[in-house]
Protein backbone atom coordinates (compact mmCIF):
# COMPACT_ATOMS: atom_id res chain seq x y z
CA UNK A 1 0.00 0.00 0.00
CA UNK A 2 1.45 3.38 -0.94
CA UNK A 3 1.49 6.56 1.15
CA UNK A 4 -1.52 8.09 -0.59
CA UNK A 5 -3.56 4.95 0.09
CA UNK A 6 -2.49 4.93 3.73
CA UNK A 7 -3.59 8.55 4.16
CA UNK A 8 -6.90 7.81 2.46
CA UNK A 9 -7.52 4.84 4.78
CA UNK A 10 -6.81 7.06 7.80
CA UNK A 11 -9.27 9.65 6.47
CA UNK A 12 -11.84 6.92 5.82
CA UNK A 13 -11.41 5.83 9.44
CA UNK A 14 -12.41 9.33 10.57
CA UNK A 15 -9.05 10.97 11.14
CA UNK A 16 -8.51 14.45 9.69
CA UNK A 17 -5.62 15.79 7.67
CA UNK A 18 -4.79 18.08 10.59
CA UNK A 19 -4.71 15.13 13.00
CA UNK A 20 -2.45 13.15 10.64
CA UNK A 21 -0.19 16.19 10.31
CA UNK A 22 0.04 16.69 14.07
CA UNK A 23 0.80 13.02 14.73
CA UNK A 24 3.41 12.64 11.97
CA UNK A 25 5.11 16.03 11.82
CA UNK A 26 4.19 16.21 8.13
CA UNK A 27 2.48 19.49 7.27
CA UNK A 28 -1.20 19.45 6.36
CA UNK A 29 -0.49 21.07 2.97
CA UNK A 30 1.96 18.25 2.20
CA UNK A 31 -0.67 15.66 3.12
CA UNK A 32 -3.12 17.42 0.82
CA UNK A 33 -0.57 17.46 -2.03
CA UNK A 34 0.08 13.73 -1.58
CA UNK A 35 -3.65 13.03 -1.82
CA UNK A 36 -3.91 15.11 -5.01
CA UNK A 37 -0.84 13.44 -6.58
CA UNK A 38 1.05 16.74 -6.56
CA UNK A 39 3.88 15.67 -4.24
CA UNK A 40 6.27 13.69 -6.42
CA UNK A 41 9.56 13.98 -4.53
CA UNK A 42 8.51 12.72 -1.12
CA UNK A 43 11.17 12.32 1.53
CA UNK A 44 11.64 8.86 2.96
CA UNK A 45 10.96 10.29 6.41
CA UNK A 46 7.53 11.54 5.26
CA UNK A 47 6.52 8.14 3.95
CA UNK A 48 7.92 6.45 7.05
CA UNK A 49 6.06 8.75 9.46
CA UNK A 50 2.76 8.18 7.69
CA UNK A 51 3.33 4.43 7.47
CA UNK A 52 4.06 4.29 11.21
CA UNK A 53 0.86 6.15 12.07
CA UNK A 54 -1.11 3.95 9.68
CA UNK A 55 0.28 0.83 11.31
CA UNK A 56 -0.49 2.11 14.82
CA UNK A 57 -4.05 3.23 14.09
CA UNK A 58 -5.27 0.93 11.31
CA UNK A 59 -3.18 -2.25 11.08
CA UNK A 60 -2.90 -2.89 14.80
CA UNK A 61 -6.53 -2.00 15.44
CA UNK A 62 -7.76 -4.61 12.95
Residue in 4, 1, 13, 3 with CA at minimum distance from that of residue 57: 13
| 5-55 per-position pLDDT tens digit | 999 999 999 999 999 999 999 999 999 999 999 887 889 999 999 999 999
| Residue-level pLDDT at 41 | 83
pLDDT the model gives residue 40 = 78
- Residues 45, 42: Cα–Cα separation, whole Å: 8
57 band by pLDDT with thresholds 50, 70 and 90? very high
H helix runs in 1-62, sequence order = 3-12, 17-24, 28-35, 44-54
Amino acid sequence: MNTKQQIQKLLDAGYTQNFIAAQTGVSQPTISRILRDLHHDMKASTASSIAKLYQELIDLAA
